[in-house]
Amino acid sequence: MSTLRGSQPDSAALPLLSRSHAHEVFAWRHGRPLRVGEFLADVARVAAAMPAGAHVLNVCQDRYHVAVGFAAAMLRGKLSLLPPTRTEDMLRRLREQAPDLFCLVDAPCELALPQMPYPHAVPPGTGVSQAVPWIPADQVVARVYTSGSTGAALPHDKTWGSLVASIRAGASRLGLPPAATLVATVPAQHMYGFESSLLMALHGGLALSAAHPFYPADIVEQLERVPAPRVLVSTPVHLRALLAAGLDLPALCLVLSATAPLDAELAHAVEQRTGAALLEIYGSTETGQIATRRTTQGQEFTLLDGVELLPQPEGFAMARGGHLAAPTPVHDIIETVGAERFRLHGRSADMVNVAGKRGSLAHLNHQLCAIPGVLDGVFFAPEHDGACGVARLMAFAVAPGLDATVLRAALRERIDPAFMPRPLVLLERLPRNSTGKLARARLAELAGAHVPFPRADDDGP
């Protein structure tokens, strides 16, 4: 087995990937293994083909192509932008911030930006093996954006050193066998999928599946196309849909979940169905992953090694240490339990006050989705408008076979009357993004389309 490790240029650099043997499997694509030597050759080839622009929007659909493009951009000293959406408004903001921005694409793309097609000229497996390159630890390699679920999407720059430290700490906590393969239902261009699939393949010693399955049947198919041991990287929304489909699942060694709190009932159902432990990852765009918990065994998260939380006024906290370059605010209400553990009580923007009663939108969402027949649902708190009195909560639900009257009656049995939504709107689906999140702007559009100015005395339809 040939070794590809290049010489370390200086003490302030880190290798592109933790494996150095050419024949180790880096990824699986269409049932075929792609080995480290082939990956490095592809990285060098794509890097050489990149245009002069310093900013890259990697919109490849194939996860292996995303990994190659990200690594190639690093080699060329380019910054990869990872926005939460590709709406015209988001693209306008990106063009303003980076006029030299270009897209790396591997499929037809209608984005109004200069495009670089992913080069497919070299047949698979014919590349010349390259030595593992080293990247300066302080090089800013990615600009990730918050999801916009609580407002405007905000940028955060990530250095190669901080990303590698985060993945090494996470991989140590997970304790996975090095031969495991990651199948992810979340895109590699968003922070959770970026860390838990792409970066985990680079520095966690795991292989990644090039596919990006979304629907339950596709998830099962892709799991079956990679060898055991298998890890499923997913979200509560995808996991709920996967269980509801009732499909037979191949053996898993671990399930990871993030992007939204996971209720214990769903966690138990996933573990019972898969036979694998389910670990929930806590983090944010700002901090990256900083804690995990096995939800079936308790509600407390355990911080990754070296990370600590400093309590702040009104239940907030500041994270520092570990892979964090500087103390970073945590925009959640946290209750610390000793030095290494904490309980999560919801986001600051998640708390609502109606008629003097304080509640959590996450709790209300859970109660709505727990009603038999409800496939998906969300509460929404419109901005207060003094001219219209007290802003009332609204709710949107996907519940085929249920009418609004029956649904409201079931909801009244579960929540305080002050939080009853007015109106409660039934939809065919909710406008979730590829990570299962709901941007506040999209919910505001829905709210405006159904009842622009809800009144405090309006009991809804």
**C-alpha angle with apex 28: 26 to 31, nearest 5 degrees?**
150
Residue 454 has pLDDT above 70, yes or no: no
CA-closest candidate to residue 208, choices 190, 222, 218: 222
pLDDT band at 181 (very low <50, low <70, confident <90, very high): very high
Type of residue found at 114: P
pLDDT, residue 458, reads 39
How many CB atoms are located within 10 Å of the residue 327 CB?
11
The pair of three-digit structure tokens given for residue 356, joined into one six-digit string: 């003097």
CA-closest candidate to residue 340, choices 308, 372, 362: 308
Percent of the chain at pLDDT exceeding 70: 87
DSSP 9-38: --TTEEES-S--BTTSEEEEETTEEEEHHH
The pair of three-digit structure tokens given for residue 161, joined into one six-digit string: 């050193």
Rounded to whole angstroms, how far apart are CA atoms 337 and 348?
19
Type of residue found at 276: A
pLDDT band at 457 (very low <50, low <70, confident <90, very high): very low
Average pLDDT over residues 263-288: 93
DSSP 419: G
pLDDT tens for each residue of 416-448:
888 899 889 999 999 887 777 788 888 888 888
Half-sphere exposure of 426 (CA within 13 A, CB side): 13
**Residue 388 class from Cβ within 10 Å (0-12 exposed, 13-18 middle, 19+ buried)?**
middle
Residue 149 has pLDDT above 60, yes or no: no
pLDDT, residue 339, reads 87
pLDDT, residue 385, reads 44
**What phi and psi, each to the nearest 5 degrees, are found at residue 163?**
-65, -45
pLDDT, residue 219, reads 96
Determine the 3-state secondary structure of 3 from DSSP: strand
**What phi and psi, each to the nearest 5 degrees, are found at residue 239?**
-65, -40
> Is the preceding omega at residue 229 within 30 degrees of 0, hence cis?
yes
Q: Which is it for the CA torsion 190, 193, 197, 199, positive or negative?
A: positive
Strands 341-347 and 300-303: antiparallel
Host H or E run for residue 362: helix 361-369
Task: Tokens 């996907």: give the residue.
Answer: 398
Interhelix angle for 264-274 vs 236-245, to 10°? 50
pLDDT band at 456 (very low <50, low <70, confident <90, very high): very low
Strands 134-136 and 13-15: antiparallel
Q: Is the distance from CB of 290 to CB of 281 less than 8 angstroms?
A: no
The pair of three-digit structure tokens given for residue 54, joined into one six-digit string: 């310093």
**What phi and psi, each to the nearest 5 degrees, are found at residue 323?**
-80, -5
Domain annotation for the chain: domains and CATH numbers: 13-346 (3.40.50.12780), 355-450 (3.30.300.30)
Please tell me which residue, 16 or 4, carries the higher pLDDT value. 16
